[in-house]
Structure 1
Amino acid sequence: MKILITGGAGFIGTALARKLTDLAYEVSLLDLPQRFKPYHKEYECYEVDIREAANFGILHHKSFSHIFHLAAQTSGAISQENPTLDVDTNVKGTLNVCNFARACGARKIIFSSSMATYGNQEGEISESTPLAPLSNYGVSKLCGEAYIKSFGQFGVKWSIFRLFNVYGAGQDMHNLRQGMASIFMTQALTSDCLRVTGSLQRYRDFVYVDDVVQALLLGLKSQTDSQIYNVGSAKPTRVGELIECILSLCPKPRESFEVRNVGGHEGDTFGSLADIAKLQSLGWSPKVSLTEGLSKMYAYAKDVL
C-alpha cells in the first residue's frame, strides 16, 4: 500500500511516517523544500507548495492508495495577522490536495483538522458539538473539512481527526508562534522569563504525539470512513499548571523564573476539552500522561536548543 503524507516533514508527519514504515507501508512525503531534513532521505520526498495546483505536476503519474493530509498553517495568532496565508494554505491548499487525490486514484484522504473548529465551549466537546470557530485558523480548517467531505461524491473516501493540543519530542522548539508546551519549554530552557499570552486560568487538552499517530492510523480502517473523531486526552490542564510542570523539570530553582503575562490575541479560546468516547469505542486510548510526555519532550528539547 502506497501512502502519501502532506506536511510529511513536520512534527506529526515525521512521527507518522516512521510508524507507517515500521508497519511496512510504502511512504512518500510532500512538504516545502526548506522543511526536509537529512533524516527524511529514507523516504521518497516531493518538494511541493500545496498553495498552487500546478505544483502537483511533479507527482504526475504517481498513484497513492491513501493520503494523510497534514500540511497546514497551524498558528491561530498568525492566522489573525495574515489571513491570506491561512486561506491559501489551509483552504485553497486542501482543495488542491483533494483534486490531486481524485486525479491519482486515491481511495481515501485522512485529514488532520483541529479543536479550533469548535471555538469557545464549556465542558467536554463531542464531535456533535456545534461548530463556532473564533480564529481565522479555525474557520480555514472547517472549510478544509467541507472540501474533504465534498470529494466523497467522486469516490474519495475520508476520515477527519480533530486534534487538540499535540505536543512531544520532535516538535519545532524554535518556532515560538505555535505549540503552547513547546513555546513555554523553549523559554524555560533559554531564558529566565516565560511570556504568557492570556490568562493562566485558560485550559487545554494536551495529547502526546505518539498517541496522535496511533489515532491517525485508524484512518486506514474502513470502519472510520465518513467519520469525524476528536483526538485528545480528555483531561484539562490549566496554563499555569502546564508552566509549573515544565519548570519542575528545570535544574534551576523555581524562584529564578518570572512568569509574565504579555496580553492575549484575537481568536484565542479560553478552554478546550475533548470528549474522546467515539475514538475510544474503536479501542484507542491515550497512553502517555502529561508528566511522562513533558519529560520525554524536555530530554529532546535540551539536545536541540
Structure 2
Amino acid sequence: MIAIFGGSGFIGTRLSFRFSQSGKLFQIIDKAPSGFFPEKVLSADVRDSLSPSFFSIPTAFINLAAEHRDDVRPLSLYDEVNVDGARNICDLARAQGIEKIIFTSSVAVYGFAPLGTNESGAIAPFNDYGRTKWEAEQVYKKWQAEDSQNRTLVIIRPTVVFGERNRGNVFNLLRQIAFGKFVMVGDGLNRKSMAYVENVAAFLEYSLDFKPGIHIYNYIDKPDFTMNALVAHVNKLLGKSSEIKFRLPFSLGLMIGSGFDLVAKITDKKFPISAIRVKKFCANSVYDSAIESTGFIPPVPLMNAIEKTVRFEFVEDHKNEQVFYSE
C-alpha cells in the first residue's frame, strides 16, 4: 500500500487514477476531501504530528502536499507545510519503518535560473516557495542518510505543471487566448519549459521501482516553446489567426503589475496580475533533465498534451466538473 500525502490535489488525483487502473493499493492523506476517491481519504494535515497507528503500514510515502501559490498569507505557511510537514512525514516514516519516500520539490529551488539548468544547477530561490522546497529536500536527505544502504529517496523537481482541470497560470494564459483577451508582454521570444500532469504522475509511479539511494530529477516535457510559438499553436487549435495582435513593452507590463500590487496591499484583495507574475511570464524558464537516463518514456507527447488540455477546457463541455486551483 502506498500513502499519497496531498493526494486530493491536481497531481495526486491523476496519480490515484493511475494507481487505480494498474491495481496498486493506495491511501490518500489530505486535509481536503477527494472528489474522485472519497473512500480512499484519511483526513490529516501534514503540519500536525502523525500517529504511527493512523493507518496500515504502507510500503512507500509520496509527498505532494505543499503551499505553492505566490499569494500565500501568512508567509509562515510555507515553512509550516513544506518544511515542518517534511519533518512530520520523516518522523512517521521512522516510526513505521518506511524505506522509500518520493517527494515533489520544484524547479523554483533554482530561482531565475540560466537556460538549460539541470539537476546540478546552483540553488538560488527568489521566493519563500522555492526556499522552503529546498529546505524540505534537506530534511528528506537527512532521513535517507540515517540508513543510506536501505532507504530510497526520490526528489522530483517539476517545472510548471498543466493539464485538464487545473486552474493555474497555464490555464489563465489559455483562457485569455481562447476568449481573445491575451496581450503579449515583452517580445515573446522567452522560452518556457512545461510539464503535463499525466506525464508527471507516470514518472512518480515509475520511480517507485528505484533502488536505495538519492535520486534527483527535474521533470520537463520537451520541446520548450517560445511564448510566441505557444500562443500561435493554441490559436491554431482554436481555429483562430496565429497572429499576436497586442503587445506591451516589458517595462509597461511591470508598471501595471506593480500598480496591482499596491492596490492589493491597500485593499487586502488578491488580483491575477502582479509584478512577480509579469516577471515570471517574461522570464526564460528552460531546464534540462537526466530523466532519459532512467529509461522513462512520457506517455503523452507535449504537443498532444496541449491539444488535449485546450480541447477539454475550451471545446468540450465540462463546466460542472471538479477543478484544481494552483499557480
Fold conserved between structures, TM > 0.5: yes
Q: How far apart are the structure 2 equivalents of 1:204 and 1:163?
A: 13
- Report the CA distance between 1:248 and its aligned residue: 2.9
Q: How far apart are the structure 2 equivalents of 1:21 and 1:200?
A: 41
Q: How far apart are the structure 2 equivalents of 1:40 and 1:279?
A: 30
Q: Is 1:78 equivalent to 2:78 in the alignment? A: no
Residue identity opposite 1:60 in structure 2: F
- Report the CA distance between 1:241 and its aligned residue: 3.0
RMSD: 2.8
| Ranges in structure 1 where 5+ consecutive residues have no aligned partner | 174-178
Aligned residues: 289
The answer to whether the 8 A contact 1:193-1:257 is kept is no
- Report the CA distance between 1:287 and its aligned residue: 4.6
| Ranges in structure 2 where 5+ consecutive residues have no aligned partner | 258-273, 320-327
- Report the CA distance between 1:251 and its aligned residue: 5.0
Residue identity opposite 1:228 in structure 2: I
1:78 is paired with a residue whose SS is: coil
What does residue 176 of structure 1 align with? none
The answer to whether the 8 A contact 2:63-2:104 is kept is yes
Q: 2:229 aligns with which of 230, 235, 241?
A: 241
Q: Cα deviations across residues 17-36 of structure 1 (Å, max 9, x unaligned)?
A: 11122222111112223x42
Q: 1:52 aligns with which of 26, 48, 53?
A: 48
Q: How far apart are the structure 2 equivalents of 1:22 and 1:224?
A: 27
Q: Is 1:135 equivalent to 2:130 in the alignment? A: no
Q: Is 1:272 equivalent to 2:285 in the alignment? A: yes
Q: How far apart are the structure 2 equivalents of 1:166 and 1:92?
A: 24
Judged with a 3 Å threshold, the aligned counterparts in structure 2 of structure 1 residues 84 and 199 are, in CA distance, closer, same or farther, namely farther
TM-score, normalising length from structure 1? Answer: 0.83
Q: Cα deviations across residues 93-151 of structure 1 (Å, max 9, x unaligned)?
A: 22222222222222211001111111122221111111111121111110110111111
Q: How far apart are the structure 1 equivalents of 2:142 and 2:62?
A: 17
- Report the CA distance between 1:59 and its aligned residue: 5.5
Q: 1:163 aligns with which of 142, 158, 167?
A: 158
Q: How far apart are the structure 2 equivalents of 1:222 and 1:284?
A: 12
Q: Is 1:182 equivalent to 2:171 in the alignment? A: yes
- Report the CA distance between 1:245 and its aligned residue: 2.7
Q: How far apart are the structure 2 equivalents of 1:57 and 1:195?
A: 50
Q: How far apart are the structure 1 equivalents of 2:154 and 2:121?
A: 18
Q: How far apart are the structure 2 equivalents of 1:254 and 1:25?
A: 44
Select between 102-111 and 230-239 the one with higher mean Cα deviation.
Answer: 230-239
- Report the CA distance between 1:188 and its aligned residue: 4.1
Q: How far apart are the structure 1 equivalents of 2:40 and 2:116?
A: 40
Residue identity opposite 1:50 in structure 2: V
Judged with a 3 Å threshold, the aligned counterparts in structure 2 of structure 1 residues 61 and 28 are, in CA distance, closer, same or farther, namely closer
- Report the CA distance between 1:288 and its aligned residue: 3.0
Q: Is 1:145 equivalent to 2:158 in the alignment? A: no
Q: Cα deviations across residues 176-212 of structure 1 (Å, max 9, x unaligned)?
A: xxx33212123445x4423678774443211222221
1:73 is paired with a residue whose SS is: coil
- Report the CA distance between 1:166 and its aligned residue: 1.6
Residue identity opposite 2:56 in structure 1: K
Percent identity among equivalent residues?
A: 25
Q: How far apart are the structure 2 equivalents of 1:199 and 1:192?
A: 19
* Match runs of 1:15-34 below 5 Å: 15-33=14-32
TM-score, normalising length from structure 2? Answer: 0.78
* Match runs of 1:189-208 below 5 Å: 189=178, 191-194=179-182, 200-208=188-196
What does residue 263 of structure 2 align with? none
What does residue 12 of structure 1 align with? 11
Q: Is 1:212 equivalent to 2:222 in the alignment? A: no
Judged with a 3 Å threshold, the aligned counterparts in structure 2 of structure 1 residues 82 and 195 are, in CA distance, closer, same or farther, namely farther
Please tell me whether Structure 1 or Structure 2 has the larger radius of gyration of its CA atoms. Answer: 2
1:30 is paired with a residue whose SS is: strand
What does residue 65 of structure 1 align with? 59
Q: How far apart are the structure 2 equivalents of 1:102 and 1:253?
A: 57
- Report the CA distance between 1:242 and its aligned residue: 2.6
Q: How far apart are the structure 2 equivalents of 1:197 and 1:144?
A: 34
The answer to whether the 8 A contact 1:8-1:30 is kept is yes
